[in-house]
Structure 1
Amino acid sequence: MKEKLFKLTTEQVNKRSENIDVLETIEIVKIMNEEDENTVSAVRSQLPQIAEAINSITDKLSKGGHLFYMGAGTSGRLGVLDASECPPTFGVSDEMIQGIMAGGEKALYSSSLDGMEDNYEDGEKTISTYKMTDKDVLVGISASGRTPYVVGALKKAQETGLFTIGLCNNSEPSFGNYCNVLIAPVVGPEVIVGSTRLKSGTSQKMVLNMLSTGSMVKLGKIYKNYMVDVVPVNAKLVDRAIRIIESVTGVDYDTSKKYFDLSGNNAKVAIVMILTGTPKEQAIDMLQKADGFISKTVGERVQ
């Protein structure tokens, strides 16, 4: 096992930073910055796989399914982060996209529970615990691609009929055979040997951004490039919603606020009301018939 771990790209020694402990601060950050550039090209090499994953996620979510991110350590925490950002940004339910962390919620801030990543059986059990079915998608995240907790979950998920996606930073991951789509941005050895919270974690965050954002775009949660389903839960977001209405429709701020109030604080509905000249109830009905897409709603109305 030790020999196998030693061969992983994520465990190799980075020659450029081997004397980082005696460098001046500016040299430390220069090396880190230059190494981070590798993450962009590594992720770019995986764009076809990422697009395939987004299409499958969109298909499942549009039919009432769920998206689950699952991982341990840094990978698990990144999955939880991305999932938690989706409800306020895109107006989806807390259940639609969920992050699952080995060791549970306490493991998000306690390294003492990081050992849970070695529990293969616990990973398997998670599929039934969260009542996952063939309507759902599971994204297993592991820098090494061999974390037992994630491997167990992906294998069980595939047996259960879920669409499975693996996200890792090694080219030949152990869980590769259990993934319908494998996304593997190989970023090279870390600046600090084995510290996958660095380049590997950065690349994972980039990919997760694409998976969730791309899926939400294809589900009609975005109009042009505005987050029209943003949940206005505080003063900043209320102002943002009104300014989105203003920018999209061309009316002034006060008029935008008026329609925002009339819509029941729903930017998407307010936009359709203004662009189509319809009352709230009709705007809602039009959006429902267009699967929530403003572009389709407006296009149909104009024709």
Structure 2
Amino acid sequence: MPRETNRTADTPLWVIAPTEERNPDTLDIDLVGTLDMLRMISDEDAKVPAAVHAVLPALAVAVDLATQSLKDGHRVHYFGAGTSGRVAVMDAAELIPTYNIDPLWVTAHQAGGAEAVQRSVENVEDHAANGAAEGGALEAGDVAVGLTASGRTPYVTGALAAARATGARTVLISANPSATFGSEVDVHVAVATGPEAVAGSTRMKAGTAQKMLLNAFSTALMVRMGRTYSNLMVALDPRNAKLRGRVVRILAEATGLDPQVCADAAERAGGDCRIAMVSLLADVPVDTAKQALEQAAGGVREALAIAGLDRD
């Protein structure tokens, strides 16, 4: 009996998603030389950025939903299976050291659990009940982001449906603009990457699009949450010499002051880049800068205004 892959219960097995169609531009991929083969793959990859750019309005809505959720004390959850889940796990994991956030802000759920991150665990993507159990654990005000190339993976759709029933807001990121489940979520980010160079190999263009979309989504979310000042990462945790050096360089970039002056300020601030930055830019004592940041929920620009220096 064929395994049910990337479909919901009411979708026949023979109805395929765009990513599973044969690509007319790569029919001879197994006949050409290696360089031409790589050119075929690269030509397909080159189509992804434009496809991602076309769905940025929908992604912006998703970012705003997630921002409001975090500011209200709620959480963001990613759900995915196979490549989609691994992309989600990577994105969520990298936010913690990059922006020094609470690990509970963004949580990734991979069909099949931790074991499925490192190797394929067959048929877990078909278990809508497992997704529903995990999605049903969300709370009203949370945001659930489901990633599935086909737009109909049962684990993901089960998670999103259950999450929405709890009062969470839901986002579907798919490579299938015609996915019927897109009408069941608050936001459908439907990136039209088309047929893969190798039919159905969604770790290629669809996976690249998911990585680009999550990169943009989570980075924009961190900016909105005040984890940057301009385009500088200011919420980092200087736990080693490399990061302590980065704090000094960031302060020098932001203030134009001598690196030694910045290093001294960082030391007075206990290594906290944001406290040192507000202290230097507003020319106020460290304690005043710390209080301003607390009032501004950690946002440097807001803290500067509170401290009496609006740099905008």
TM-score by length of 2: 0.92
Partner of 1:94: 103
By how many angstroms is 1:202 displaced?
A: 0.5
Q: Distance in 2 between matches of 1:31 and 1:138?
A: 35
Q: What is the SS of the residue equivalent to 1:70?
A: strand
Q: What is the SS of the residue equivalent to 2:233?
A: coil
By how many angstroms is 1:34 displaced?
A: 1.5
> Number of paired residues?
298
Q: Distance in 2 between matches of 1:175 and 1:223?
A: 38
Q: What is the SS of the residue equivalent to 1:139?
A: strand
Q: What is the SS of the residue equivalent to 2:15?
A: helix
Whichever residue aligns with residue 123 of structure 1, its letter is G
Q: Distance in 2 between matches of 1:204 and 1:234?
A: 32
- CA offsets, 1:156-182, max 9 Å, x none? 111111000000001122422321000
Partner of 2:217: 211
Partner of 2:134: 126
Contact 1:154 1:175 in 2 (8 A): no
Whichever residue aligns with residue 282 of structure 1, its letter is T
Partner of 2:72: 63
Partner of 2:22: 13
Q: Distance in 1 between matches of 2:267 and 2:181?
A: 50
Structure 1 residues 236, 22: closer, same or farther in 2, change over 3 A? farther
Partner of 1:293: 299
Whichever residue aligns with residue 2 of structure 1, its letter is L
Q: Distance in 1 between matches of 2:89 and 2:66?
A: 17
Runs (5+) with no aligned partner, structure 1:
none
Equivalent residue for 1:251, pick from 249, 254, 257: 257
Q: Distance in 1 between matches of 2:15 and 2:242?
A: 50
TM-score by length of 1: 0.95
Whichever residue aligns with residue 210 of structure 2, its letter is Q
After alignment, is 211-220 or 275-284 more displaced?
A: 275-284
Equivalent residue for 2:266, pick from 229, 254, 260: 260
Determine if the alignment matches structure 1 residue 239 to structure 2 residue 248.
no
Q: Distance in 2 between matches of 1:257 and 1:24?
A: 56
Runs (5+) with no aligned partner, structure 2:
1-11
Residue correspondence of structure 1 range 150-165 to structure 2 within 5 A: 150-165=156-171
- CA offsets, 1:72-128, max 9 Å, x none? 0000000111101111111211111011100000100121x1321100100110124
Q: What is the SS of the residue equivalent to 2:30?
A: helix
Whichever residue aligns with residue 14 of structure 2, its letter is E
By how many angstroms is 1:234 displaced?
A: 3.0
Backbone CA RMSD of aligned residues: 1.3
Contact 1:72 1:114 in 2 (8 A): no
Partner of 1:136: 142
By how many angstroms is 1:22 displaced?
A: 2.5
By how many angstroms is 1:258 displaced?
A: 1.4
Q: Distance in 2 between matches of 1:28 and 1:232?
A: 45
Contact 1:73 1:114 in 2 (8 A): no
Whichever residue aligns with residue 150 of structure 1, its letter is V
Partner of 1:74: 83
Q: Distance in 2 between matches of 1:12 and 1:302?
A: 57
Contact 1:70 1:100 in 2 (8 A): yes
- CA offsets, 1:179-217, max 9 Å, x none? 100001010110111000000000011111111111111
Higher helix share: 1
Whichever residue aligns with residue 98 of structure 2, its letter is T
Contact 2:81 2:111 in 1 (8 A): yes
Partner of 1:53: 62
Contact 1:151 1:174 in 2 (8 A): no
Partner of 2:4: none
Equivalent residue for 1:114, pick from 113, 117, 122: 122
Segments ≥4 residues shifted beyond 3 Å: none
Q: What is the SS of the residue equivalent to 2:122?
A: helix
